[in-house]
């Protein structure tokens, strides 16, 4: 009986991360270094992974109870009084429930608050559309003055958190709980408004953010087996968006596939289409949830259900390239 060859390291099971760990560890480090940093939760201590923060910095930790409108207003008051508040709750509630406070107290008034929308997208898959947050990017990215970032992995999550400390103006950080692998190296530097090209290629461009970035990289890998060189761009910065990266993709590749764990309208695909329609019309495929409330099922099941997979991106790219 022959022995199986030892499994090479390149196919070893990849380590997966919950980006909430990177965010909460970064927040603790920032609070230790800067007395302005405080955290506000709405009875969401465990889901925001802030138990250690609440124990280390009890005087800078506020639990307002289940009251998201109040929570965002309290954040604005803290910010207006010189603190740097991180207002943390499930993304579905912190956006929809408190949208007028987000618009007025943060966007319009330039309240220096960081909204941390946890467990965004379809991470709470089984709980159903009440707890899905597939509208949040579309809602927030159109609010003037509000920066919107959808980090792809724990390294970018930590980098965005550290960047946010001295950012002037409100931010919405969309932080997933779905396991993702690292797509950046430890030396990654986050720049607001800058897209990051993770893989070079001039046949087609795959643009993604959040949990879809690693899937786009996998799609590029499988397209390469067919001789198709796909560029992969991490569009974590949704507002401001890197219009130049979009236009460069339109000029130098044969089309753009966008992929987001969100509604297909109004989010990444919509933002890219707005730029292209005005400045450089190009062929696109927009992958996301197609204008429906998602059914119930695990997050992985729902991503499969809507084709938000490496295979789905691969197929959309082939379809787009075959059009001409």
Partner 1 sequence: MANSTTPASNLPIGEQAVRLKQMANEIRFSAMTMTNHAGLGHTGGDLSSSDILATLYFGGILQIDPAEPTRPERDRFIMSKGHCSGAFYSTLSFKGFFPRTQLSTYMDPLSLLNGHPDRNKLPGVEANTGPLGHGLPIAVGCALAARMRGQGWRTFVLTGDGELNEGSNWEAAMTAQQYALDNLVVIVDRNRLQQGDFTEKIIRMDPMASKWIAFGFAVEEVDGHDHAALLEVFSRLPLKSGKPTCIVANTIKGKGVSFAENKPAWHHGVPTREQLALAAAELGVEISQ
DSSP string, 90-148: EHHHHHHTTHHHIIIIIIITT---EEEEES-BTTTGGG-TTT-BSSHHHHHHTSTT-EE
Start-end of H helices in 166-295: 212-225, 243-252, 268-279
Judged by beta carbon, residue 78 or residue 294, the one nearer partner 1 is 78
Question: Of these, 30, 96, 104, 243, which contacts partner 1 (CB under 8 A)?
Answer: 104
Q: Pick the binder of partner 1 from 54, 69, 265, 315 (CB under 8 A).
A: 69
Site string for partner 1, 21-60 (x = CB under 8 A): -----------------x--------------------xx
* 251 vs 255: CA distance, rounded Å: 9
What is the closest distance, in whole angstroms, from the C-beta atom of residue 140 to partner 1 in the complex?
18
Query: Does 77 help bind partner 1 (rule: CB under 8 A)?
Result: yes
Q: Say whether residue 85 binds partner 1 (CB under 8 A).
A: yes
Are the C-beta atoms of residues 60 and 31 closer than 8 Å to each other? yes
Can you give 201-215 as a three-state secondary structure string?
A: CCCEEEEECCCHHHH
Cross-strand partners of 88:
41, 116
Q: Does 73 bind partner 1 (CB under 8 A)?
A: yes
Q: Does 170 bind partner 1 (CB under 8 A)?
A: no
72 binds partner 1 (CB under 8 A): yes
SS3 call for 43: coil
Q: Is 78 in the site for partner 1 (CB under 8 A)?
A: yes
* Rounded (10°) CA dihedral 271, 273, 274, 275: 90
Between 65 and 290, whose beta carbon lies closer to partner 1?
A: 65
Query: Tokens at residue 209, please?
Result: 């953010």
Closer to partner 1 by Cβ: residue 76 or 232: 76
Judged by CB under 8 A, how many residues of this single chain contact partner 1? 30
**Is position 109 an interface residue for partner 1 (rule: CB under 8 A)?**
yes
Give the C-alpha separation, 213 to 236, whole Å: 9
Sheet of 256-263, strand order = 196-199, 230-234, 204-208, 256-263, 284-289
Per CB under 8 A, which region of 16-24, 99-107, 129-137, 249-257 contacts partner 1?
99-107
The nearest distance, CB 145 to partner 1, in angstroms, is 10
Q: Which of 101, 112, 133, 157 binds partner 1 (CB under 8 A)?
A: 101
110 forms part of the interface with partner 1 (CB under 8 A): yes
Q: According to CB under 8 A, which one of 27, 39, 83, 195 is a site residue for partner 1?
A: 83
Q: Which stretch binds partner 1 (CB under 8 A): 6-14, 73-81, 165-173, 176-184?
A: 73-81
C-alpha span between 178 and 168 (Å, rounded): 29
Q: Contact region for partner 1 (CB under 8 A) — 23-31, 105-113, 188-196, 212-220?
A: 105-113
122: number of CA atoms within 13 Å, CB side? 27
Q: What are 252's two structure tokens?
A: 């130098």
Contact positions vs partner 1 (CB under 8 A): 38, 59-60, 62, 64-65, 67, 69-83, 85, 100-101, 104-105, 108-110
């Amino acid at each position: 009986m022959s022995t199986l060859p030892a499994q090479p390291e390149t196919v070893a099971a990849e380590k997966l991360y919950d980006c909430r760990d990177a965010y909460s560890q970064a927040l603790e480090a920032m609070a230790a270094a800067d007395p302005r940093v405080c955290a506000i939760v709405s009875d969401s201590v465990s889901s925001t992974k802030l138990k250690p923060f609440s124990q280390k910095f009890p005087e800078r930790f506020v639990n307002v109870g289940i009251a998201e409108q109040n929570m965002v207003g309290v954040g604005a008051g803290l910010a207006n009084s010189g603190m740097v508040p991180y207002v943390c709750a499930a993304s579905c509630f912190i956006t929809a429930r408190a949208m007028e406070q987000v618009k007025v107290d943060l966007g319009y008034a330039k309240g220096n608050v960081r909204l941390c929308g946890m467990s965004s997208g379809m991470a709470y898959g089984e709980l159903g559309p009440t707890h899905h947050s597939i509208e949040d990017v579309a809602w927030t990215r159109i609010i003037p003055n509000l920066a919107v970032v959808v980090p792809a992995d724990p390294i970018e999550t930590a980098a965005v958190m550290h960047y946010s400390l001295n950012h002037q103006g409100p931010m919405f950080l969309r932080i997933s709980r779905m396991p993702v692998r690292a797509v950046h190296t430890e030396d990654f530097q986050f720049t607001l408004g800058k897209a990051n090209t993770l893989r070079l290629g001039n046949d087609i461009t795959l643009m993604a953010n959040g949990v879809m970035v690693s899937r786009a990289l996998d799609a590029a890998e499988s397209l390469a087996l067919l001789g198709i060189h796909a560029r992969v761009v991490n569009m974590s910065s949704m507002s401001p968006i890197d219009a130049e990266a979009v236009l460069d993709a339109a000029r130098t590749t044969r089309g753009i596939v966008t992929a987001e764990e969100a509604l297909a309208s109004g989010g990444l695909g919509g933002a890219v289409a707005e730029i292209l329609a005005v400045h450089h019309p190009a062929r696109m495929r927009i992958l996301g949830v197609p204008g429906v409330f998602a059914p119930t099922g695990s997050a992985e099941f729902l991503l499969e259900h809507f084709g938000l997979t490496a295979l789905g991106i691969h197929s959309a790219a082939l379809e787009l390239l075959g059009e001409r």
